[in-house]
Amino acid sequence: MSAQGRSIAEQQAADFVAPAQGQISVLSLAANTASAAQDTGIDGSAGRRSAFVTIGANETFFVLFDATASMAAPDPSATTGTGRCMGPFAANAPVSLRVDVSRRYFRVISASAVVVRWYISSGAQE
């Protein structure tokens, strides 16, 4: 327990906020088709240095982050090169990842047709 009487897990859970109306981005992708680069808006300015982004999908997916929108397409089979990505992330189990200016943009891909939902899930993490 921490000095405030809350466990570390409780403190970490308190860092995340539920999505607000109109602030969830939704992508519908065909099988094996990478999304366009998604801009998290984390630009390094005051109050926008880092935040958590929560990403979830109805199918297993892979994700690739980069500093620029001109990033490579994610390639789940790549072991070298710029298309290497993280995953697989399980269907129907959203994941929250800390994003900073060096990871402002991301792309997702799935072997199946997929609907991906994402939102900024924390306040400014200065």
Note whether residue 5 is domain-resident. no
Span 40-64, pLDDT tens digits: 988 888 777 888 899 999 999 999 9
- The percent of residues above 70 in pLDDT, for the chain, comes to 82
Note whether residue 2 is domain-resident. no
Name the domain count of the chain.
1
Span 4-16, pLDDT tens digits: 565 655 555 556 6
The helix (run of H) or strand (run of E) holding residue 104 is: none
| Cα dihedral across residues 51, 68, 113, 89: positive or negative | negative
Note whether residue 41 is domain-resident. yes
Note whether residue 126 is domain-resident. no
Give the per-residue pLDDT at 46. Answer: 75
Give the per-residue pLDDT at 76. Answer: 94
CB 51 within 8 A of CB 84: no
- In this prediction, residue 112 has a pLDDT band, given cuts at 50, 70 and 90, of very high
* Eight-class DSSP state of 100: E
C-alpha to C-alpha distance for 43 and 119, rounded to whole angstroms: 16
pTM of the model: 0.82
Give the per-residue pLDDT at 37. Answer: 96
Note whether residue 16 is domain-resident. no
Q: Of residues 88 and 20, which shows the higher confidence score?
A: 88
Note whether residue 9 is domain-resident. no
pLDDT of 27 higher than 60: yes
Note whether residue 17 is domain-resident. no
Note whether residue 3 is domain-resident. no
Range of the domain at 64: 25-120
C-alpha to C-alpha distance for 70 and 43, rounded to whole angstroms: 16
CB 103 within 8 A of CB 78: no
Which CATH number belongs to the domain containing residue 77 in this structure? 2.60.120
